Amino acid sequence: TDIDPFITGLPKAELHLHIEGSLEPELMFALAERNKVAIPFASVDEVRAAYAFSNLQDFLDIYYAGAAVLCTRQDFHDLASAYFARAAADGVLHAEIMFDPQTHTDRGISFAEVVEGLLSAMAEAKDKYGMTSQLILCFLRHLSEEAAFETLRQAEPWLDRITAVGLDSSEVGHPPAKFARVFAAARAKGLKITVHAGEEGPPAYVYEALDLIGTDRIDHGNRAMEDPVLVRRLREEGKTLTVCPLSNLKLCVVGDLQQHPIDRMLQAGLAATVNSDDPAYFGGYIADNYRAVAEARGLSREHLATLARNSFLGSFLPSEQIAAHI
């Protein structure tokens, strides 16, 4: 449609992207072969057919299984390099990349292997596309507080190249409070913070992310819309929400995109942004996400420009770089 060149041409930042979630089935097969890792699929078509999820956990089970093909720094480089090519084509000028070190270190892959592969792809993206990027180290919330502390210790030599820490994986039953101390330790080391909250979990988890962790951003935040007092607080604090429409559809956070709250979030004065979450699993990169909500919710070009502008305002870039983008 004629909105496509407008969307691609909008300068955008991607703030919510799990690099392991950008593993396309073709690369999964290539890496399985290269590393002699068995995967429970016979073909690329079979992999795509398995991508029918009824909730977050359904997806996570397949996502962690897929990540088992990632073994060497070259693999992590290739993974991120492929993402940056897609993002550049979509008009992304700055990307804040989440990664899940525990998914790899628990399989015996060293932290160094993961992070060095990502960092070399980030340097390449700067050279090739002029794209800036930052790393967000995510703790897996279904694992223990102690395991998160151990991961933070492993990250120590790279903390000058890691911008933020995040909290992802199975939300319900693993409230932010479980990780209040590890986030306090990360904050003391100068790291920014972003927490998945209100994707499947209740508004109470969003309050915990704010009150007990002091998060800089909320990843998803959909269910905050159930609580008008919380909505007012998020507006007054100018808290950025990194919303992921196609993810919300595929994980059944919304029944269909016609019910997606993105325009109600903007209407409520929230600093909402549009992002791709796990694009290889959810059927689209960032421009596809903008297009999907533009069509389903009839967003104007002004709305789309506001979402894109919010992405830079909510980024962890230094303020002078934000100013240069908006």
Binding positions for Zn ion, rule: CB under 5 A:
277
Residue 208: active-site member:
no
**Which of Zn ion, ligand ADE, none interacts with 12 (beta carbon under 5 to 8 A by kind)?**
none
Least Cα distance to 274 among 4, 8, 13, 3 occurs for 13
**Which of ligand ADE, Zn ion, none interacts with 200 (beta carbon under 5 to 8 A by kind)?**
none
**Which of Zn ion, ligand ADE, none interacts with 192 (beta carbon under 5 to 8 A by kind)?**
none
Q: Which is nearer to ligand ADE, 154 or 276 (CB)?
A: 276
Site for ligand ADE in 222-281 (CB under 6 A): 247, 277-278
Least Cα distance to 15 among 274, 291, 239, 280 occurs for 274
- 77 assigned ligand-binding residue: no
* Rama region for 7: left / alpha / beta (φ>0; ψ in -120 to 50; rest): alpha
56: contact with ligand ADE by CB under 6 A: yes
- 277 assigned ligand-binding residue: yes
User: Least distance from C-beta 119 to ligand ADE, angstroms?
Assistant: 21
Q: Which is nearer to Zn ion, 71 or 136 (CB)?
A: 136
- State the Cα–Cα distance between residues 268 and 100, nearest whole angstrom: 32
Q: Which is nearer to Zn ion, 71 or 79 (CB)?
A: 79
User: Least distance from C-beta 196 to Zn ion, angstroms?
Assistant: 6
What 62-66 contacts at long range (C-beta under 8 Å, 24+ apart), as own/partner pairs, is: 62/281, 63/18, 63/20, 63/21, 63/278, 63/281, 64/103, 65/39, 65/40, 66/20, 66/23, 66/28, 66/39
User: Least distance from C-beta 166 to Zn ion, angstroms?
Assistant: 8
- 18 assigned ligand-binding residue: yes
Considering CB under 6 A, how many residues would be counted as binding ligand ADE? 10
Question: Beta strands 92-99 and 271-274: pairing type?
Answer: unpaired
User: Least distance from C-beta 168 to Zn ion, angstroms?
Assistant: 5
- C-alpha count within 13 angstroms, C-beta hemisphere, residue 292: 26
**Contact flags string 14-43 toward ligand ADE, x per CB under 6 A:** ----x--x----------------------
Q: Which is nearer to Zn ion, 41 or 281 (CB)?
A: 281
- State the Cα–Cα distance between residues 78 and 67, nearest whole angstrom: 13
Chosen residue from 169, 215, 273, 289 binding ligand ADE by CB under 6 A: 169
199: contact with ligand ADE by CB under 6 A: yes
Identify the H or E element spanning 237: none
Catalytic residue among 199, 200, 302, 320: 199
48 contacts 251 by C-beta, under 8 angstroms: no
Burial class (CB in 10 A: 0-12, 13-18, 19+), 105: middle
What type of residue sits at position 298? G
Name the strands in the sheet holding 12-18, side by side, starting at the edge strand that comes first in the sequence: 12-18, 92-99, 132-140, 164-168, 192-197, 217-220, 240-243, 271-274
User: Least distance from C-beta 137 to ligand ADE, angstroms?
Assistant: 13
**Site of tokens 């007054």:** 236
Indicate the SS3 state at residue 198. Answer: coil
* Residue 300: both structure tokens together: 């104007």
Q: Which is nearer to ligand ADE, 22 or 310 (CB)?
A: 22
Q: Which is nearer to Zn ion, 41 or 183 (CB)?
A: 183
User: Least distance from C-beta 255 to ligand ADE, angstroms?
Assistant: 17
Binding site membership for Zn(2+): which residues?
A: 16, 18, 196, 277
Binding site membership: which residues?
A: 16, 18, 196, 277-278
Site residues, ligand ADE (CB under 6 A): 18, 21, 56, 168-169, 196, 199, 247, 277-278
Active site residues per annotation: 199
Binding site membership for substrate: which residues?
A: 278
